[in-house]
Structures are given as C-alpha cells and as structure tokens.
Amino acid sequence: MVKNTAAVAAVLLMAIPAAAADRADKREIIRQARAAYYSLRGRGLDSLTASATVNWEVVLGPAKPGDDLSRRADAMKLLNGLHFAMAMDPRGKVTVTHRADTPAPNETSQKGYDQIFGGMDQVITGFYDTYNPFMITSPFPSVESEYTVEDIDIGYRVAYNEGTSTVITRMTKTFAIIDTVVNAPDFDSTIKPTFVTTEQGYVLAGYNGYYKPKTGSGTTLLDGVLDHQIVEGLRVPKKLRFDATVDGAKNQTEIVFSDYFIKRR
C-alpha cells in the first residue's frame, strides 16, 4: 500500500511541471495574440467625437420604374437635413446625437424622424459594439484571466466566459481571428472578421455577422466593409458600408465619419 502510494505521488510530482509549462504557454499565446492587433487604447486614445453622415442614396436604393421622382427629391432634401454625431467616452461607451435642419411639419413626419433617428442610433452603436474589441481594446481575454487554449488544425481555439456568455474564438498560428462565436442567455452570434495587415498590427477591414435572439424577431445577417483614416496619428473609421438582412428584409447603409476631435490620455 505504501509502495503504491509513493508511486502515485511520484506520478503527480512529475505532472506538476508539465501543467505549469502548459499554462505558461497558453498565457504567452494570448499575450502575443493581443499584441498582434492595432489598439487605439494602446496608442493613447482616451475619447473621441465625430460627425456621422449618412448616404441616403444608398439607404433608399436606386429609383425604380414608376417611382415619383419629385417626391423622392423632396424626401432626399429632408433626409439630407438630418445630422448625426457620435461620442465615445473613456470607457468605450458610444452615444449618438442628432438634429434636423427643418422641424417636422406634422406629427406623422415627427414619427418618421424618430424612427430614422432610432434606427441610425442602433446602427452606429451596434457597429461600435463590434468594432471596439478589435480596434479599441482587444478581442482576446486578459492574459491573467481564466480561459483555455487548444491546438486545432488551422491554429488555436480560445474559450472563456464573459459574464453569463460563453465565447469561443478560432485563430490562425499568426493570431488572425477566423471567427468568434458568442452564446449568451438571450442570443447567439457569430462574427467572421477580415483584416488589413500593417506594421502596427491587424486592422479591422470588415466582417460578416450573424445574430439570432433566443426568442422573438431580429435575426440578422450582416456584411460590413470598413475604411480607416489617419487623424492625429491614430487610425479611426472613415467609411462604413453595411449590407444587412433582418428577418428576411434586406437593407443597405453607408456612413462617413469626419470632423474628429480626439482626446489622448
């Protein structure tokens, strides 16, 4: 019995260095993965504001045979008189403000304004919800947090919990993310990002997204393309183009960001 116990103890002692080395390797993988991405926070960003100009020609789509072109022109005049701005605070929270050059002439028009304002608020804040992990902070867990890293044929599989959600990210051996799957209590989603490789790290160039609530409507398929610009030495969004399908209904959106005010830490 004593001999067996000693043998088991020896096996356990032999296993300890291997387990520690394995954990250290996983943390080094995450450390390198985090360093492989461009980070606005890492380059000193504290907060920012910008104008957001909607291309209503894209939103409305091309005129169709039989459309009242005079009425469309009147609608475009009103739409181009709607102005949007966004602000990101030091915590990364984004708020959208808006105003109209021409007050709504009646209650029906005001409801239309409110619907447009609410829709664009959702588009811009939803975009930044996806953008922030890739470009502001990091798409990976903190190095010292709890997670697993597994070898897979194409690279690595990283799994961890974020609040009540489970997150699984697959990436290549060079740390380029292939996809991220989030299973939350109220929704499931998948993001497949694309990147531009720069000397300062991976820069988000677009993504395909899938979002499905656990109950009710709102199933969304999204194909986004993003251009950046350099403002005060930082890469920030310039133009965003979405092709989306929400519960089977297709729509397009194009937004140009300009007039940045950037505050550094």
Contact between 207 and 194 (Cβ < 8 Å): yes
Mean pLDDT of 15-28: 55
Structure confidence at residue 18 (pLDDT): 39
pLDDT in tens, 133-171: 999 999 999 999 999 999 999 999 999 999 999 999 999
Structure confidence at residue 24 (pLDDT): 58
pLDDT in tens, 207-265: 999 999 999 999 999 999 999 999 999 999 999 999 999 999 999 999 999 999 999 99
HEC profile of 52-72 = EEECHHHHHCCCCCCCCHHHH
Mean pLDDT of 3-8: 46
In the predicted model, what is the mean pLDDT of the chain? 89
- Both tokens of 29, joined, read 């993988």
Angstrom distance (rounded) from CA 33 to CA 24: 14
Residue that wins the pLDDT comparison between 187 and 69: 187
pLDDT > 70 in the chain, percent: 91
Please say if the pLDDT value at position 19 is more than 50. Answer: no
Please say if the pLDDT value at position 2 is more than 70. Answer: no
Angstrom distance (rounded) from CA 80 to CA 53: 9
Nearest to 224 by CA among 244, 210, 238: 244
- Both tokens of 37, joined, read 């991405």
Mean pLDDT of 2-23: 41
The reply to whether the predicted model has a pTM over 0.75 is yes
Give kind and range of the element (H or E) at residue 5: helix 2-35
Alpha carbons within 13 A on the beta-carbon side of 224: 28
Angstrom distance (rounded) from CA 128 to CA 137: 12
Please say if the pLDDT value at position 197 is more than 70. Answer: yes
Please say if the pLDDT value at position 34 is more than 80. Answer: yes
Contact between 258 and 50 (Cβ < 8 Å): yes
Structure confidence at residue 12 (pLDDT): 38
